[in-house]
Amino acid sequence: MSSNELDVDRLLQTLTFGDDPYAHFNERATAEDIPPIQVAPVFGRLLQILTELLDVRVALEVGTLAGYSAAWIASGFGDGGRLISLELEPHHAKVARENLASVGLDRAVDIRIGSALDTLPGLHNDPTVSGHVDLSFIDADKASNAAYLEHAIALSRPGALIIVDNVVRQGEVLDASSTDPNVIGTRKVLTLLGSHPRLHSTALQTVGLKGHDGFAAAIVLP
């Protein structure tokens, strides 16, 4: 990642929306020894715009970290929007709740602690969630991405949007012989995105604050 890429990201942010309203989330995360792997501000803004565009009422996030992407999603809600965010680490969840409370978004975000593979099955039995998810954002351990995607599809309404982050991995996704679980999981989820009969999908590579990476997006079909 070159300084030019960072400068371009900062310029895009400055010219299109200005200050990052959740920058202090990342400062707090650093102070609390939480890995600095949150989405870039320009991508957070995209999540907010997509939430507004879809008039999201129920959203799902796999991977809360310090609540940064959750804040961007929740800030795009109209009245009554709800984000269910799944986080493995109790410490991360604690910091995220405090961060979200600092901007008045804590009531819009329901953070659930535990392995997402253990938490997700229970959502299928919740009639307020199952079949009603408008937007899913998958940004947790990459080895489990395909399993997360299967749950997201089943929980979504037709026309919902699913986004899977970090699908390029500095170009390592090209290596079909990789033994890296993150690369294996990423290639598996991309294959599923392209083959699942209920998905209309694409993926884009990006360069900027997060280096050479990308994300996949899919519309859930009936």
pTM (predicted TM-score) = 0.96
What pLDDT tens digit does each residue of the chain (222 aa) get? 457 888 999 999 999 999 999 999 999 999 999 999 999 999 999 999 999 999 999 999 999 999 999 999 999 998 889 999 999 999 999 999 999 999 999 999 999 999 999 999 999 999 999 999 999 999 999 999 999 999 999 999 999 999 999 999 999 999 999 999 999 999 999 999 999 999 999 999 999 988 999 999 999 999
Per-residue confidence (pLDDT) for residue 93, from 0 to 100: 98
What is the full DSSP assignment across the chain? --HHHHHHHHHHHHHHT-S-TTHHHHHHHHHTT--S-PPPHHHHHHHHHHHHHTT-SEEEEE--TTSHHHHHHHTT--TT-EEEEEES-HHHHHHHHHHHHHTT-GGGEEEEES-HHHHHHHHTT-TTTTTTEEEEEE-S-GGGHHHHHHHHHHHEEEEEEEEEE--SGGGGGG-TT---HHHHHHHHHHHHHHH-TTEEEEEEEEEETTEEEEEEEEEEP-
pLDDT (tens digit per residue) in 133-151? 999 999 999 999 999 999 9
196 is in which domain, residue-wise?
A: 3-220
CATH number for position 146: 3.40.50.150
What pLDDT is attached to residue 210?
Answer: 87
User: Which tens digits make up the pLDDT trace of 127-136?
Assistant: 999 999 999 9
The count of domains in the chain is 1
